[in-house]
Amino acid sequence: MSGPPSEATLLVLDAEPPPRLGTLTGRVRIEHADESTLAERLPSADVLLVWDFTSHAVRRAWPGEGPRPRWVHTASAGVDHLMCPELAASDTVVTNARGVFDQPIAEYVAALVLAMAKDLPRTWDLQRQHEWRHRESQRVAGTRACVVGSGPIGRAIARTLKALGIRTALVGRTPRTGIHGPDDLDRLMARADWVVSAAPLTKATHGMFDARRFGMMQPSARFINVGRGQLVVEEALAEALSKRWIAGAALDVFAHEPLVRESPLWEVPGLIVSPHMSGDTVGWRDELGAQFLELFERWQAGRPLPNVVDKQRGYVPGH
């Protein structure tokens, strides 16, 4: 990537402006776009900040006419919502929000694991009915987890679960020290008490959690998805729960978000539904904003950027 032009243009795809973007005043021309204006403004942008990271507008606008930004940063860990063949084939550098969500998501997964082990959803139901019903709950120490996804988020989840005494295996695309390869997945899932999905959405991972894999889990096991909705065949999960192939599940992400009121998923027995919030702790927007400003400093100084996504693979290659 060559140095920035003297009068660069930063295009921000957003509904609300990112915090402290005004500190860049005088150093870059800042323009804003929404889903309807993105295609038209893209040719004049040197940098595109995808602040509204739920939007699929980039994927739709990118293949159009004219020059394209040389750098795209998305305020998200996943890049599946913006990647298209034309962007992947281009010289444009794509960076992501690697690091911001790791610890919050790890805590969220721990919250779900413990809530299910301690039967908290039932406790709330019984409280609403004013009913005192003692139950035995489960110890998590000594149980087994299989965390799928060996990026910073998956690794943070594994660290947190291990801190609770859970024997945790990590599965990634490439086997390396402490990380299992895809060949071990079926064996690890079959003996796990907790299967946690935290993989990036790529061609290789799309629909990887299907009827066959739910079918090989233990009847006492639970499944948690904090990655991307399309990693899971949702109908297969609903069936696995209804037929009690597995004991419970929690989805924080869905193939179609927001989940519509009519979705049958809200009512699947043993399924906890949350609105894609696992990584979003108080101050997260500030952190995302500060992270972009830091990357922008480097870009303007002509220094190499961190968090560069491998556009063919669809994620930042790991260490």
Give the whole-angstrom CA distance, residue 227 versus residue 200: 6
Nearer to a copy of itself, 136 or 183 (CB): 136
8-state DSSP, 264: G
| φ/ψ of residue 240, rounded to 5 | -60, -35
Nearer to a copy of itself, 109 or 201 (CB): 109
Shortest gap between Cβ of 71 and a copy of itself (angstroms)?
28
Shortest gap between Cβ of 25 and a copy of itself (angstroms)?
28
Selecting among 31, 40, 235, 257, the annotated active-site residue is 257
Selecting among 29, 276, 285, 313, the annotated active-site residue is 276
Nearer to a copy of itself, 69 or 154 (CB): 154
Nearer to a copy of itself, 84 or 164 (CB): 164
| Residues of the shown chain interacting with a copy of itself in the complex, contacts defined by CB under 8 A | 103-104, 107-108, 110-111, 114-115, 117-118, 120-121, 123-124, 126-127, 130-141, 160, 163-165, 257-259, 261-263, 266, 272-277, 280-282, 284
Give the list of residues 6+ apart from residue 6 with CB closer than 8 angstroms, or none: none
Selecting among 81, 98, 222, 228, the annotated active-site residue is 228
Residue 256, burial from CB neighbour count under 10 angstroms (0-12, 13-18, 19+): exposed
Nearer to a copy of itself, 103 or 300 (CB): 103
Terminal CA-CA length for the chain? 23
Element (DSSP H or E) covering residue 47: strand 47-50
Respond yes or no: is residue 20 known to be catalytic: no
Respond yes or no: is residue 228 known to be catalytic: yes
Shortest gap between Cβ of 94 and a copy of itself (angstroms)?
25
Shortest gap between Cβ of 267 and a copy of itself (angstroms)?
8
Respond yes or no: is residue 144 known to be catalytic: no
Tokens, residue 95 = 């960076």
Shortest gap between Cβ of 129 and a copy of itself (angstroms)?
9
| φ/ψ of residue 15, rounded to 5 | -95, -45
Could you write out the DSSP letters of every residue in 140-161?
-TT-EEEEE--SHHHHHHHHHH
Give the whole-angstrom CA distance, residue 121 versus residue 127: 10
Active-site annotation, residues: 228, 257, 276
